[in-house]
Copies of this chain bind each other. A is one copy, B any other.
Amino acid sequence: MNPDICRERENATFNTETLTNMLDGSAEKTRRRREIESLVINDPDFQHDDPNFMSRSERYDAAVKKSSQMIMKLRDYGISDPEEIYFYKRCVHRGFSEPLDLHLGMFLTTLLNQASPTQLDTFFTPAWNLEIVGTYAQTELGHGTHIRKLETTATYDPSTQEFVLNCPTVSSIKWWPGGLGKTSNHAIVLAQLYTLGKCHGLHAFIVPIRCMKTHQPLPGVTVGDIGPKFGFEEVDNGYLKLENVRIPRENMLMKYAQVEPDGSYLKPPSDKLTYGTMVFIRAMIVGESARALSKSCTIAIRYSAVRHQSELRPGEPEPQILDYQAQQYKLFPLLAAAYAFTFVGQYMSDTYHRITGHINQGDFSQLPELHALAAGLKAFTTWTANAGIEVCRMACGGHGYLCCSGLPDIYVTFTPTCTYEGENTVMMLQTARFLVKCYRQAREGQQLSGTVSYLNEQQRLQPQPVSSRPTVVNINDLASLVEAYKLRAAKLVEVAAKSLQGELQRSISQEDAWNNSSIELVRASDAHCHYVVVELFAAKLSEISDTAVHSVLNTLALLYALHGITLNSGDFLQAGLLSVPQLSQITQRIKALLVEIRPNAVALVDSFDYNDEMLNSVLGRYDGNVYESMFEWAKRSPLNRTEVRITIINR
């Protein structure tokens, strides 16, 4: 054990195990999570070479093998709780995506949600037993976000009682589905349903794409891997072109919408029935932001505690780089954000389950707010984490560029969250649509509740011009900072709404007015999400009984809030929420908070409790022995297997 990192742990002012238990939910949950992780880590079937030394094909092969073994083992162990399955799975794949993700996450769940009972009988058991391996084919070359314009068609032929599927253009080739390229023999295909000469929009069809015996593509099916990507080496994201592929009528998922044998169409009882999954996935991504950022902080902060460089004081030994204010200023706000997003992720998960309960009882009233919140927070947290991972990587200097640091893999595995499941800017604009609607409702006298209730207060403040509003923020008081973030959000929602109104007064269309206000609308959503995050962090503190843990998290929450103000100081000044002298005080206060956090920095990342196998980082090792490990790792590089010299042509 490196003596520097030992000393860091001795100097911490709180018990890391207490905080870990809090993050897991309870001491029992921590125990169970560790038990599941050690099942995987000690399983000889899951030992593997470093993926960094493997080709893409080898990584793919190993991942498929591990996934299928995993599924069998989960049954053997009787692990069926979704959270426990998640622990097991992420440990098997060390956080990487894998070829069966869509089979497990989308094919099976879509069957469960949208198949009729007869269809479930036919398809579910073979799929559960991995005889049928499926994917979910929605996105096409030409369309991602705007799914209404997908071009693949499924035309019903009453004479044979079959659907005929076609990708009529290059842009309609299905593109991106994970597991499609090599692994799957079936796909749930989203296609425009035509029957009796009429289009009924997108519906889902189960399409066999490869022979279940030979795995050769079936007639009319062109399928393959879309080629190398930024990361995701294990996954065979694929393309699929369908030409007059016929499937029986029974292969349209018919729990809700139906096509009768004669071709007549029965529409679904509601168009919001598939809404929930989307919201759920976005809510889960918030938690992924927290994980990616907390992993990156663990690596960068542990490394900064053992790395010595330059000199602070002449003649003294080189200091730990964690002692540099510039290094603390890079890493500690991200550490604070990692905690903030962890709590926001827990809140989103809890809220989703609570509201799902209401929905099952027929109460849809809170769905729009949850939908808007999931969209905005997905964008807000993934953007912050995405940039934050790179700050952590660069805070490790040159060594952060080595794959053995773990940081390049964290980045390329995480960055797609900014784009998939709803492109972030589109997400921010969806949230803005909700905010503007609420703003208008409040102006019309409706009383708003939930996270947007501040728009009511905005109305109360209306008569008083913003510039003369007294600056009442106490920069040492978290509640007061929450209030400032709230008023900033209220102000920016108002600015966006007024921009829209101004554009409309220039008598342009609603749609052009919306487009011409995009800058303000995105800013309003961003401010709203920022407020929600600060608010939830502050709320979490009230639940913490352990004084030592409360104290250190309070420091982090203050840092998160004050750092966010300095990044957006123009907003706060513009809205008259802070004075110029207060801004200078905030910089001083931030410096004091960095000093307060310094002795607890390593303990705060230890509390995330990533074991070395999960982290897979030479720089982030728990024992701090980075240089020896890096040298040992490098010796195993495939390029070192021979001493043969490449021929240099010199004449």
Which of A's residues lie within 8 Å of B, judged by CB?
52-53, 55-57, 60-61, 64-65, 68-69, 72, 129-131, 133, 139, 141-146, 149, 170-171, 173, 175-176, 181-183, 210, 215-217, 224-232, 236, 239, 308-314, 318, 323-326, 329-330, 386-387, 390, 393-394, 397-398, 400-404, 407-408, 411, 415-416, 418-420, 423-425, 429, 467, 495, 509, 511-512, 515-520, 522, 566, 568-574, 580, 583-584, 587, 590-591, 627-628, 630-631, 633-640, 643-651
Q: Indicate if the CB atoms of A236 and B631 lie closer than 8 Å.
A: no
Is A145 a contact partner of B512 (Cβ separation < 8 A)? no
Q: Are B590 and A646 in contact (CB under 8 A)?
A: no
**A313-B511 contact in complex given A566-B570, A630-B141, C-beta closer than 8 Å:** yes
Contact A60 B639, beta carbon cutoff 8 Å = yes
Query: Can you list 28 pairs linking A and B with CB atoms under 8 Å apart?
Result: A60-B646, A64-B646, A65-B646, A65-B647, A130-B649, A142-B308, A145-B309, A145-B310, A146-B311, A170-B627, A183-B645, A215-B643, A225-B637, A227-B637, A228-B403, A230-B408, A230-B411, A324-B518, A325-B518, A326-B425, A386-B390, A398-B419, A516-B591, A519-B587, A568-B570, A569-B570, A570-B570, A573-B573
Q: In the complex, what residue of chain B is closest to A308 when comparing beta carbons?
A: B142
List of B residues within 8 angstroms of A64 by Cβ: 646-648
Given A398-B139, A569-B570, verify A309-B130 contact (CB < 8 Å): no
Cβ-defined contact, B325 with A146, below 8 A: no
Contacts of A402 in B (CB 8 A): 226-230
A397 engages B570 (CB within 8 Å)? no
A386 to B402, CA, bound (A): 18
Given A225-B640, A227-B639, A313-B512, 10 further pairs, Cβ under 8 A: A72-B650, A129-B650, A146-B311, A171-B627, A226-B402, A228-B402, A313-B511, A397-B419, A568-B570, A573-B580
Q: Which of A394, A408, A511 has the most CB of B within 10 A?
A: A394
Q: Given the complex, which residues of B lie within 8 Å of A131, measured CB to CB?
A: 650
Do A324 and B515 contact each other (CB < 8 Å), given the known contacts A215-B644, A387-B387, A631-B239? yes
Main secondary structure of the interface of A (DSSP, over half): helix
Nearest chain B CB to A232's CB is how many angstroms away? Answer: 8
A495 CA to B584 CA, complexed, in Å: 10
- Are A646 and B587 interface neighbours, CB within 8 A? no
Number of copies: 2
Contacts A324-B518, A643-B215 given; does A53 touch B228 at CB 8 Å: yes
A216: which B residues are within 8 A, CB to CB? Answer: 643
**Residues on B with beta carbons closer than 8 Å to the beta carbon of A52:** 227-228
CB within 8 Å for A326 and B631 given contacts A145-B310, A230-B408: no
Residues on B with C-beta less than 8 A from A650 are: 68, 72, 129-131
Say whether, besides A425-B326, A520-B587, A573-B574, A225 and B639 are in contact (CB < 8 Å). yes
Q: Could you tell me the distance in whole angstroms from the C-beta of A18 to the nearest C-beta in chain B?
A: 32
CB of A566, distance to nearest CB on chain B (Å): 7
Measured between beta carbons, the chain B residues less than 8 angstroms from A145 are: 309-310, 397
Docked CA distance A130–B643 (Å): 19
When the two chains form their complex, are residues B418 and A312 in contact, meaning their CB atoms are under 8 A apart?
no
Chain B, residue nearest A312 (CB):
B511
Look across to chain B and name the residue whose beta carbon is closest to the beta carbon of A130: B650
Complex Cα distance, B645 from A419, in Å, reads 30
Q: Known A394-B419, A511-B314; judge A591-B519 contact (CB<8 A).
A: yes
Closest to A499 in B: B587
Residue of B nearest to A646 (CB): B64
Q: Is the CB of A217 within 8 A of B643?
A: yes
* Interchain CB contact under 8 A, B515 and A182: no
Q: Which residue of B lies closest to A572 (CB)?
A: B570
- By a CB distance below 8 angstroms, the chain B residues around A390 are 386, 415
Q: Which residues of B contact A429 (CB under 8 A)?
A: 326
Complexed CA–CA distance, A274 and B540 (Å): 56
